[in-house]
Amino acid sequence: MFLSSFDIFRRDRRGNHVLLAVAGDLETARRRLSQLASLMPGKYFVFDSRTHQIVAAAEESEWQVT
C-alpha cells in the first residue's frame, strides 16, 4: 500500500474537506494545488500527513505557502 506524504484537499460549500489528490513530495503537491485552484475557484490546502500540518493553501487561483 502506498502512503502519500502530501494530501490535497478542497473545502466544499458546507465546510467539509474533500480529498482531491495525493503527492509524494511538496513541490509536486504545490504544482497540483496551483493547477486545481486555477481550474475551479475555491479553498484548497495541502496537508502533510507525517507532521499533521497544513503546508500550503490556495484560494481561487492565488496561492500561498503557510
Question: Given this model, what pLDDT does residue 2 score?
Answer: 52
Cα angle, residue 5 at apex, residues 56 and 45 outer, rounded to 5°: 25
State the pTM of this model. Answer: 0.80
What are the pLDDT digits (tens) for 35-45? 988 888 889 99
Which distant-in-sequence residues (6+ apart) come within 8 Å of 45 by Cβ? 8, 9, 11, 33, 54, 56, 57, 58, 66
Question: Given this model, what pLDDT does residue 3 score?
Answer: 60
Residue where the block lists cell 486545481:
36
Nearest to 48 by CA among 8, 5, 18, 10: 5
Among the residue ranges 4-8, 9-13, 42-46, the one predicted with the least confidence is: 4-8
pLDDT-derived band of residue 16, with 50, 70 and 90 as boundaries?
Answer: very high
